[in-house]
Amino acid sequence: MHNKIIVILGLSVGVLLAGLAAPQDDAAPVALYSDDNLIEVSAEDPAVIAARENARRQYAYFRRAFRNRVSDGSQYQVKFPLRSADGQVEQIWAEVTELTGHGLDARIIGVLANDPAYSDAFKLGMKVEIDPEEISDWAIFKADKIIGGWTMRLFVQTNPDKIPDPVKMMLAAGAKELES
């Protein structure tokens, strides 16, 4: 079954925030939009799957960075599936405020970093609890770089003219940090 994914790209608090929405019952292609621009990609695209797998494989980096964070204005966010009462699932960003537990008891506590596209029951800033096994991406937004953000990197690669140059530069700088 093909899922429909909507990717919202925008600048918020000086950093890029992206949301990935996927209604379960829709066989339509993926839609990417920035403001009034719309681009379609496949929800089962190997590059989308690889981006999600990269984020999960590198999650230990995020966890360590969050636990060792300093007060420098950085934002730590994860993308996860938010389920609405009517059964729609939207991959959305949450700003992490706490990591609790270990192993099967681990949880990510945070607040929604953007308003969901498919549910009025959830709002920007609403508290959420997330199972780390469900995350589809993570990003650390620093003043000069974005570390992680594999789904964002994918959309920069596939739609470079839709992404502002400063965001591209921040993602490139963040990629270098992960390589070191």
pLDDT grade for 14, boundaries at 50, 70 and 90: very low
- pLDDT of res. 163: 82
Taking a C-beta distance cutoff of 8 angstroms, is the pair 98, 76 a contact? no
Taking a C-beta distance cutoff of 8 angstroms, is the pair 81, 90 a contact? yes
Q: Which residues lie closer than 8 Å to 58 by C-beta, 6 or more apart?
A: 138, 148, 178
Domains by residue range for the chain, with CATH? 45-151+163-179 (2.30.30)
This prediction's pTM:
0.77
